[in-house]
Amino acid sequence: MSALPDRTAGQPLSFRRYKDGDHKPRPWQQEIFDADHSHKCPTYIQSTPPCQGSCPSGEDIRGWLNIVRSIEKPPAGMPWQEYAWRRLTEANPLPSVMGRVCPAPCESGCNRNEVEDFVGINSVEHFLGEYAIEHRLAYPKPAQTSDRKVAVIGGGPAGLSAAYQLARKGHAVTIFDERAELGGMMRYGIPGFRTPRAVLDAEIQRILDLGVEARMNCRIGTDITLEQIQADFDAVFLGMGAQSGRPLPVEGAEAPNCVTATAFLKAFNDGRLRHVGKRVVVVGGGDTSIDVATVARRLGHIEKVNETDRPELAIASHVAQDVAEASARQGAEVTLTSIFAVEKMQASRHEVEHALGEGITIRGGWAPVRVIRDDTGRATALRVVRCEAKITGGRLEIKTLEGTEQDLEADLIVSAIGQAVDFSGLEALDNGKGGISADRNYQVQGQAGMFVGGDVVRPHLLTTAIGHGAIAADGIDRHLRGEAQDKRPKIDVHTWDIRRKLVEKGLTLSEVHEPIHGTDSKNVAIHNFDNRSDRYVIPHEELFLGHFQYTPRHRRKVVTLTAEQALNNFEERVLPLTETEAIGEAKRCMSCGLCFECDNCVVYCPQTAVFKVPKSKSTTGRYVDTDYSKCIGCHICKDVCPTGYIQMGLGE
């Protein structure tokens, strides 16, 4: 018998889903919902939290915070502080430095801002970095080494990050740097009261202890050619940084006492600059300009200055000022000008507040128009004009207001309006825009085996340079292995790996390929697990924020100085959290996109379909599972999941 209904020749079939005239299906929700149940069941979706997605170095922030708060347990015999530090340093080998100076874009992205205030990620990182230094933690050397050699040009954050990652992969690394010591702008650009030199030295030494060599006082293009390096090494990483300051683009800026911020800070960090003039004007608006202003406030001035002892001479040369220590030191009058209003300046808000508290005058909405000079050619004042500045389509627009010009008297004028790369001896690499062009893997265009990172790609944060170095190290490793340069993931960060926990627990893994999904027949994760960390940042709308009670942030103690106290005070201002405070702050993390074992789904499931995984098989991220023979798709587990880890999907 035919399975088809009786019909005459040419008559259309009648058992269709839609009738003639129907052009659209019914809404999807109507197809799968029926009263209090549906055909959608719990799926367990690992997503990237916005803190991690906002971190330029791509740290597994949620992961190491969950270790600090005891959600994720360390391997037997390892303190949780060490385990959290090791997870953190998989991405960033300089946590104690970054915990102090990074402006923490991760905190701006934190979903906890929707509850009351962000999690103090930077302060917990600071705590872990200090613990590691105090307990002399070291990086394990690679189990296997290759016979490949990599040259790293520049010992700043990008170069150190690349060297660290490459050494961990077993390659021989040599850093070339034109300075006497490693650190780049961390040492020669940021004052020591923000990055204590003992801390910087300790974190750099850990990297060198992996077997990384350093050739100091060696400038590429002068002391050795790039061609020589390419002949001697299998790959090259360019991390020269942008350590040349930009002078003011106004008439008279060639005055000897009109200097750049990088030259000013280098002279200070070298120990050559010991006092400044009575009146200092800084032009900028970013963190570098704040550094210059606060250094000038601390150095102050002395009344009687020899002609050969002027600040600009110490900045321009390698001769230190011959200042008698007995000289009466007085506070300098420091004024910082910015084309943007004070509240729109790029500098960190807390740094601006510190500067104001120390007696530094900040004038927002003023643009420099001319340097006023005397008969000898020295600057005596900076002429500024009222302005309105805005960025439209990535371009800066400045509108000046005629008739509002003022002269700010100055003995020293410092330009902190940006930095540039010094391509002397390396002119062929300049892309014509003051940088080096690279692809998503940070491989130099048209130069196989040559990679780049840091400010030479795009001037940005220190932690951005660290991220560049890590990504470039991956590319270099693939190049050395003869592998193709893979397409980088949409969300390019270090992600939490459920398989690590299974291995640590001694559980056997079945074969699995990234991204992890379709785990109904695999033992690598719970049923209906999907790792979408490479493509999805979970927003606060996906969280059950009602679970989280108001909890004030544990703030680091910050030493606030008055104008008088700042003079000649070079002590550190930001102090680390205590262990109790660090744990308390980590507990404020909402673990966005990953289970933190609250039991809500188990408690509220009316069908007892959601159950705890037996302890012998459970790990972080594998804490609960679903009996799909009981599940009616009521969505309650999703609704009460604080982290958004439980989503609803079609339950085939």
CATH at residue 92:
1.10.1060.10
> Does 7 reside within a domain?
no
pLDDT band at 29 (very low <50, low <70, confident <90, very high): low
Would you give the DSSP letter of residue 469? H
Record the tokens describing residue 640, joined without a space.
């009460």
Closest CA to 627 of 637, 619, 640: 637
Structure tokens at 298: 């601390």
pLDDT at 134: 98
Is the predicted pLDDT of residue 399 greater than 60, yes or no? yes
Domain identity same for 407 and 440: no
Tens of pLDDT, residues 467-489: 999 999 999 999 999 999 988 99
Q: Is 385 a domain residue? A: yes
The residues near 51 (Cβ < 8 Å, ≥ 6 apart) are 61, 62, 106, 107, 109, 110, 111, 119, 121, 592
Residue 354 CA to residue 472 CA, distance in Å, equals 36
> Does pLDDT of 2 surpass 70?
no
Confidence of residue 329 (pLDDT cuts 50, 70, 90): low
User: Would you say residue 9 lies in a domain?
Assistant: no
Q: Which of 389, 417, 445 is the last residue of a domain?
A: 417
The verdict on 75 and 39 lying in the same domain is: no
Residue with tokens 């790990």: 619
In a shared domain, residues 54 and 43: no
Residue 457, domain CATH = 3.50.50.60
Q: How confident is the model at residue 13 (pLDDT cuts 50, 70, 90)?
A: very low
Q: What is the pTM of this model?
A: 0.90
pLDDT on residue 28? 61
Q: Which of 417, 438, 471 is the last residue of a domain?
A: 417
pLDDT recorded at residue 525: 81
Res 4 pLDDT > 50: no
Judge contact between 387 and 366, C-beta under 8 A.
Answer: yes
Q: Do 266 and 163 belong together in one domain?
A: no
Residues 173 and 264 in one domain: no
Phi, psi at residue 100, to the nearest 5°? -95, -45
Domain region containing 87: 50-137+554-586
User: Please, which residues have CB within 8 angstroms of residue 240's CB and are 6 or more apart in sequence?
Assistant: 153, 154, 220, 421, 422, 426, 454, 456
pLDDT at 7 over 80: no
**Among 378, 402, 417, where does a domain finish?**
417
Preceding peptide of 103 cis, ω within 30°: no
Asked if 342 and 364 count as a contact pair (C-beta separation under 8 A), the reply is: yes
Q: Do 398 and 251 reside in the same domain of the chain?
A: yes
pLDDT band at 3 (very low <50, low <70, confident <90, very high): very low
**Given pLDDT bands bounded at 50, 70 and 90, which one contains residue 433?**
confident
What is the structure's pLDDT at 325?
44
Measured between alpha carbons, how far is 278 from 411 in angstroms, rounded to an integer? 6
- Residues 603, 506 share a domain: yes
CB neighbour list of residue 433: distance below 8 Å, 6 or more residues apart: none
**Rounded-to-integer distance, Cα 171 and Cα 212, Å:** 9
Q: Please report, as a single letter, which amino acid is at residue 198.
A: A
Is residue 489 one of the residues assigned to a domain?
no
- Which residues, 6 or more positions from 611, have their beta carbon under 8 angstroms from its beta carbon? 602, 624, 625, 626, 627
Question: Which is nearest to 563 in space by CA: 274, 345, 334?
Answer: 334
Sheet strands (E) in 462-565: 529-531
Question: Within this chain, do residues 298 and 393 fall inside the same structural domain, yes or no?
Answer: yes
Q: Are 528 and 41 in contact (CB under 8 A)?
A: yes
- Which two structure tokens, joined as six digits, stand for 295? 């250094």
- Say if CB 71 and CB 597 are below 8 A apart: yes
pLDDT greater than 90 at residue 257:
yes
Whether residue 274 is contained in a domain is answered as yes
Is residue 488 in some structural domain? no
Distance between CA atoms of residues 635 and 647, nearest Å = 9
For the stretch 72-118, pLDDT in tens is: 999 999 999 999 999 999 999 999 999 999 999 999 999 999 999 99
202, 128: one domain: no
Number of domains in the chain: 4
CA–CA distance, 320 with 270 (Å, rounded to integer):
9
Q: How far apart are CA 491 and CA 452, in angstroms?
A: 20
By C-alpha distance, which of 304, 293, 323 is closest to 413? 293
Domain contains 519: yes
In this structure, are residues 437 and 444 in contact, taking their beta carbons and an 8 Å threshold?
Answer: yes
> Which residues, at least 6 apart from 481, have a Cβ–Cβ distance to it below 8 Å?
none
User: 256 and 229, same structural domain?
Assistant: no
Q: What is the distance between the alpha carbons of residues 456 and 348, in angstroms, rounded to a whole number?
A: 23
Pair 111, 539: CB distance under 8 Å: yes
* Residue 109 shares a structural domain with residue 166: no
Q: What is the pLDDT of residue 326?
A: 40
Would residue 503 count as lying in a domain?
Answer: yes
Answer yes or no: do 254 and 383 share one domain. Answer: yes
